[in-house]
Chains A and B, each alone.
Chain A
Amino acid sequence: MHILRALALASGAALVSVTAFAQGTISNLPREETIIIENPEGTVKNPGWFNYWAINAGGRSTGLQQLAMDTFWYIDPDYGIDGVWDNSLASEKPIYNDDFTEMTVKLRPGIYWSDGVEFTADDVIYTIETHMKTDGLYWSAPVQINVESVSAPDPYTVVFKLKKPNSRFHTLFTVRWNAMWMMPKHVFETAGDPHQFDFNPPVSLGPYTLHSYDPNGKWYIWQKRDDWQRTTVARFGEPGPKYAAYIDPGPPDKRVIAQLNHQLDIIHDTAPEGMFTLARESDSSHGWFPGFPYGHPDPTLPALIFNTQHEVFQDRDVRWALALLIDIKAVAMASYRGAATISAIGVPPTGTQPEYYHEPLQDWLKSFEIDTGKRKIKPYDPTVGQQIAEMLRPSMGDAIPSDPEEIARAFGRGWWKPDPEAAAELLERAGFSKRGDAWYTPDGKPFKIRITVEGEARPVMTRAGSMIAQQWRQFGIDASIDVAEGTLVTRRNSGDFETIMSWSVETWGGHPDLSFFLDSWHSEFVADPGKPQPPRNWQRWSSPELDKIIEEIRTIDFDDPRGIELGKEYVKLVAREMPTIPLMSYNVFTVMDETYWTGYPTADNPYTDPVPNWANTKYMFVKLRPHKMAQK
């Protein structure tokens, strides 16, 4: 029994020794000078790799692209620190010749790499020529397809001669999440094969430089450069944090715990339930919106996407019938627990987009009719956003805004009214029939639909898909969920699905030009069934009418007001044709803790996107201030 006593003693001693520990966050750095941010890439497998130009070789949102990379221009997904467009390494907007076969870039002088070498046109020429002669780098393909030659008449001017007219060539160098970053010529020219060079430590063009990193890929720490004034963000002031740590905090529950313990200043994303817990339990945590729906609406549009190469979904009537069977309120509740920003049209209700598209098109939507074959109906209900707000008010109280404009901004405007009767009429016109409680296709087979969802990796979208399947089943369609998990990307790209919960619409957010995603919807890029589809036309939809819109957009300037008119034509066309059923923006529950830092971007101060893996968040750093200083 002595052994037993010894065991009990040892256990007791171990328990007591636990109290000797304290949850330390960071070693040898002052916490009040350090901002700790979630990197959603998680644990980086190859942490010592900083060569961004070698495709997917290492981490990207480890702080590398936010704090150390730079390129010509940035477009903000919200309203921007000084307008939506920012000339970053360029001193002015792109200058095209009349037929868009030449683009001139004027560079900003006085910008230096972190090792003291000035950034000049030589770096641009080197970056472009390296991509021209090396296959398989991140941007090799678009450079090789577009660039005939590149030259530098002086150290601050670069002239691109293009192989064919391209009015959107500058978007290759315009950051929306990322863009083609500039390489330091003086480092890479002696490094040998650019595929094999790890660029460790990285020479930075941003206001921070690498301080340290975990060889196991759990964290990266960046330190403010002494010469931060010689970087492009210095125009907006000094970055607040002296140190920035990008970490892998683990699964959603742990992120919530870490922020409640003030060990994680910015959560990149968490589950709606985690957001609600933080809103309830922490006085210092907040999301993008001060109340419901909290999350930041990303310029991304989750939708029910039809594979229009599938026989059943080639008929517009069928696609519309299925849209009229969806109750978006139930989908919003199931997916985001109500914290969704809905959109009936093919543009995310994000950033400045509602001002360009959603608001101006309200009258058109209200008067929009579809013919069921037996009658004409007006399917649009402009009050759905309001209805969701009212539905949540009894349980969420003050967290729900009451001003109609606030509600529209937070929950979206209208959506399509559920109308099973009209859906039945449309299906009948398409040759479908109902026997008993079940619907049958024109060739007499049971009407079956599989909705492919990602599963646990994306629970919000999975829950939305499950709810839609349930609603279709209630109508008599044999609808089911097909959980793809890790195979989703391969299956989506090869068209191995009937319908899929995903997004094929992504916009700049702040700028009304829709070419970011729309150009890829041209029928020239639609792959044959079974062949890999280039992003983003996952619906594989071909439309001569849409082709005309896209072709005209290609011929006009990026800022031409005609672009907005063409964008509206696209919206009307896809509302009529319904190749995808738009649902809502992808709301990201980015949660910011004000214990150490204040000045985060919010819906009331939308100077940039708070979602911290976006390279655009570099602008956030010049607005962040220590909390105590802010109180003085």
Chain B
Amino acid sequence: MSSYAAYVGKRLAQFLLVVFIGINIAFFVTHMTPIDPIEQSISAATSFGSTSPEAIEMLRQSLRELYGLEGTLWDQYLDFWRRVLVADFGPSLSAFPAPVATLIWNALPWTAGLLLVATLIAWLFGNLLGGLAGYYRDSRLLRLAGVIAMAFHPIPYYIVAFVLLILFGYVWPVLPISGGYQMNMARGFSPEFVLSVLEHAILPGLSLVLVGVGGWFMGMRALVSNIVTEDYVTYAEYGGVDHRRILTSYVMRNALAPQVTGLAMSLGAIFNGAIITEQVFGYPGVGTLLIDAVHAGDYSLVLGVTTVSILAVSIAVLLIDLLYPLIDPRVRLA
């Protein structure tokens, strides 16, 4: 167990280093933005109504003080780390004084809910179909499924999304095309609300699954195609072991390890949000929040979303790193 403890210690140190470097890069990149949040704010406030030029300079100074943008970059850097350590990203500059953490917290459940489910469905379907297609290579039905899955895979995501939108939103208008639930519905765990959430998630979810399933399918089919030529599989077949058992216990189980790693990476990345999905389907989530923040030069909010994302991906990778040696001892030995 001592070698495993050393392994864990090494991975933990690596994790902390990755998080530290990632957040630092995020801080400096966001602060190098050519977009000035004060000018964006002034423009938003003055672009329609009456504007006194004399008042603008006064407003500019007031906002700089109010938003806490006084001081050097170094001062802001230290202040940022003080806040990160207590999970406080400060107020959003484009929705002042709302705390960044509150904005992220409001949006995150939608992103996580949609992407978690869509990623898991795509993973399950893709791997299941890919595994079957790799094993039953003569099945016409599975070949057809492979053609369909691979046909969707290279199509740009937004094309698939728009086709679904037009098909089920206009040509055969049976599904809602916007929002996370029906307007004016009371939120809670009532059957109506749950059904409404599911109904609104069908199109964005389906678009993600259709495009995502092909990648898992191809990966799994390739892995299974290799494994079925292994001696132990041939031996099992000659030995009269049931095909279903060979497929599940001998083939797919061995092929799953790299796919599980891929799943962990994908689950970590869902915290980035599916920006195009949210834009096309008007679905709530952190993707829209991030885009708005970038356009507004709201580096507090960009940093908040980015930091959550860095942490999520790093934690996912760390967990896989920690679990992998328990599944496959060769990793630890290596």
Contact = CB atoms under 8 A, between A and B. Distances in A.
| Co-assembled chains A and B | yes
A454 to B, nearest CB: 11
Interface string A218-254: 1101000000000000000000000001011111011
Contact of B66 (A135, A216, A218): A135
Interface in A183-240: 195-196, 211-212, 214-219, 221
Most chain B CB neighbours (cut-off 10 Å) among A196, A250, A258: A250
A165 interface: no
Contact of B174 (A19, A146, A251, A519): A19
A141 B284 CA distance: 36
Given A7-B128, A26-B182, A249-B178, A45 B59 contact: no
B282 A248 contact: yes
Contact of B169 (A57, A219, A257): A257
A630 interface: no
A46 B98 contact: yes
A22 B183 CA distance: 14
A404 B54 CA distance: 44
A525 B170 CA distance: 52
**B interface, over-half SS:** helix
A6 to B, nearest CB: 10
A23 interface: yes
Contacts of A211: 184
Contact of A23 (B40, B107, B176): B176
Nearest to B278: A43
Contacts of A19: 174
Interface string B114-144: 0000000000010011001000100101100
B239 interface: no
A29 B184 contact: yes
Interface string B289-300: 100101111000
Interface in A493-539: 493-494, 516, 519-520, 522, 525, 532, 534-537
A487 B279 CA distance: 21
B184 A141 contact: no
Interface residues of A, number: 82
Interface string B100-114: 000100110010000
A177 B49 contact: yes
Contacts of A353: none
A160 to B, nearest CB: 15
Contacts of A26: 182-184
A174 interface: yes
Contacts of A489: 35, 39-40, 43
Given A27-B185, A145-B58, A218-B179, A136 B66 contact: yes
B50 A536 contact: no
B176 A535 contact: no
B314 interface: no
Contact of B97 (A7, A196, A217, A519): A196
Contact of B178 (A145, A250, A486): A250
A412 B178 CA distance: 38
A555 interface: no
A491 B66 contact: no
Given A45-B92, A54-B97, A250-B178, A535 B129 contact: no
A312 B216 CA distance: 58
A57 B284 CA distance: 19
A138 interface: yes
Contacts of A195: 66, 97
Interface in A114-161: 135-136, 138, 140-142, 144-146
Contacts of B132: 3-4
A1 interface: yes
Contacts of B50: 171-172, 174, 176, 179, 516
A23 B165 CA distance: 12
A138 B98 contact: no
Contacts of B288: 42-43
Interface residues of B, number: 83
Given A27-B185, A254-B165, A489-B39, A216 B110 contact: yes
Interface in A36-61: 42-43, 45-46, 49, 54-58
A26 B175 CA distance: 14
Interface in A250-275: 250-251, 253-254, 257-258, 260-261
Contacts of A28: 184-185
B260 interface: no
A250 B66 contact: no
Contact of A27 (B36, B139, B182, B279): B182
A4 B141 contact: yes
A258 B177 contact: yes
Contacts of B289: 45
Interface string A466-489: 000000000000000000001101
B62 A136 contact: yes
A297 to B, nearest CB: 16
A25 interface: yes
A176 B46 CA distance: 12
Most chain B CB neighbours (cut-off 10 Å) among A3, A177, A254, A525: A254
B202 interface: yes
A85 to B, nearest CB: 15
Interface string B183-202: 11101000010001001001
Contacts of A536: 51
B44 interface: yes
Interface in B199-230: 199, 202
B162 interface: yes
Interface in A544-576: none
Given A45-B292, A486-B297, A21 B174 contact: yes
A104 interface: no
A250 B281 contact: yes
Interface string A567-587: 000000000000000000000
B52 A145 contact: yes
A507 to B, nearest CB: 12
B68 to A, nearest CB: 12
17 contacts: A19-B174, A23-B175, A49-B98, A55-B41, A56-B95, A57-B97, A136-B59, A144-B58, A196-B97, A211-B184, A218-B178, A247-B183, A257-B166, A257-B170, A490-B36, A490-B40, A534-B54
Q: What 3 A-B pairs come out closest when comparing CB atoms?
A: A141-B55, A177-B48, A534-B53
Given A1-B139, A216-B107, 10 more contacts: A23-B173, A27-B183, A29-B184, A46-B98, A172-B52, A216-B110, A254-B177, A490-B40, A525-B53, A534-B53
Interface of A: 1, 3-4, 7, 18-19, 21-29, 42-43, 45-46, 49, 54-58, 135-136, 138, 140-142, 144-146, 171-172, 174, 176-179, 195-196, 211-212, 214-219, 221, 245, 247-251, 253-254, 257-258, 260-261, 457, 486-487, 489-491, 493-494, 516, 519-520, 522, 525, 532, 534-537
